[in-house]
Amino acid sequence: MPETITERGSRSGAEAASGPRTDPGAAGPAPAQEAAFEAKIAADERIEPRDWMPDAYRATLVRQIAQHAHSEIIGMQPEANWLTRAPSLRRKAILLAKVQDEAGHGLYLYSAAETLGTGRDELLDKLHAGRQKYSSIFNYPTLTWADVGAIGWLVDGAAIINQVPLCRCSYGPYARAMVRICKEESFHQRQGYELLHTLAHGTPEQHAMAQDAVDRWWWPSLMMFGPPDDESAHSAQSMAWKIKRHSNDELRQRFVDICVPQAEILGLALPDPDLKWNEERGQHDFGAIDWAEFKEVLRGNGPCNDQRLDRRRRAHEDGAWVREAAAAYAAKRALGAAGPGEAA
């Protein structure tokens, strides 16, 4: 597959750029390479872009990192919805910084994916064509200002629980991107918590608004950890490869246990009548998750799936002239620098 090799060389980072090439004609992986890869994984060493790796490992990472990157940039939309209506300049500045961070997180992750030999344009094309997914949580609408708080507290909170173990993921560039992202996420979560706390201790109407937002975001946030362990398609292999370090259910439980006391301090209720402390387990029991809803949203039938993708495609198309103008300007400058008569 010479095309793949060209692609990899031309599009990926310097880290990936001159990787050891598999001979286009060679059949199957060399056992020595596979053994070296397995040994690195077993020793908890990181795999770096130019190391030999199984095709399935590479494909799994591209799928996961792309989905993660797409989630970051689609995730800008629900919150950006409230930028122009933020209740104060302070809140507006904070929200702008947060939405900008999400764009940055997307870029870190696209860069990480590119070290695996898949170009950013290719990934964006797949997102726009609906061939790659993003987190189903962003297909829910932000109906009130309190939703900005609920997203920060619950959605970013769940993301942090998911992402902290990814800082030790076996693939180096992904792990490094996650370290940077996790540092920035904690501001996201705190601003949301502070926002909700302010509303919850405001007028009765504001308190009700905060409670309503938590009621709507709680269950979708629990779904962010993915299907139950016994139904998770990719979990076992990802755990073996140390891409994933904890199971979906384990992380979900951790999230619930963290949120319960935080909700108490907010003075808000979590919308689950079955939620209670289990002395024996030392953890909270909680109610059944509506996985039918999760699957529907994944299938494209959530409240905002079409809207999110349309908006994303439109932003990309509307921005085409900017990209073209920048390229044309760069070309003109390069020509000017090379030309003989251009004394500047």
* Residues in contact with another protein by the rule CB under 8 A: 5-6, 8-15, 17-20, 36, 48, 50-51, 97, 100-101, 104, 107-108, 111, 114, 119-121, 176-177, 180, 184, 323, 326-327, 329-331, 333-334, 338
Residue number with CB closer to another protein (111 or 136): 111
Q: Which is nearer to another protein, 83 or 179 (CB)?
A: 179
Residues contacting residue 141 through CB under 8 Å, at least 6 positions apart: 78, 147, 303, 304
Nearer to another protein, 103 or 265 (CB): 103
Q: Which of 111/132 has CB closer to another protein?
A: 111
User: Rounded to the nearest 5 degrees, what angle is found at the Cα of 116, between the Cα atoms of 3 and 310?
Assistant: 90
Q: Directed axis angle between helix 204-223 and helix 248-266, to 10°? A: 170
Closest approach of another protein to the CB of residue 310, in Å: 24
Angle between helices 305-318 and 120-128 (to 10 degrees): 140
Q: Using CA atoms, how far apart are residues 26 and 155, in angstroms rounded to an integer?
A: 46
From the CB of 253, what's the least distance to another protein, in Å? 32
- Which pairs with CB-CB distance under 8 Å and at least 24 residues apart come from 235-238? 237/56, 237/60, 238/60, 238/64
Write the DSSP assignment of 76-94 as a string of letters. Answer: HHHHHTTGGG-SSHHHHHH
CB of 77 to another protein, least distance (A): 20
Question: Mapping DSSP to helix (H, G, I), strand (E, B) and coil, where does residue 47 land?
Answer: strand
Nearer to another protein, 184 or 293 (CB): 184
Nearest approach, Cβ of 8 to another protein (angstroms)?
Answer: 7
Question: Do the beta carbons of residue 148 and residue 79 sit within 8 Å?
Answer: yes
Tokens representing residue 178 in the block = 């996650």
Query: What's the closest the beta carbon of residue 165 comes to another protein, in angstroms?
Result: 21
* Shortest CB 24 distance to another protein, Å: 13
- The nearer residue to another protein, 20 or 204, going by C-beta atoms, is 20
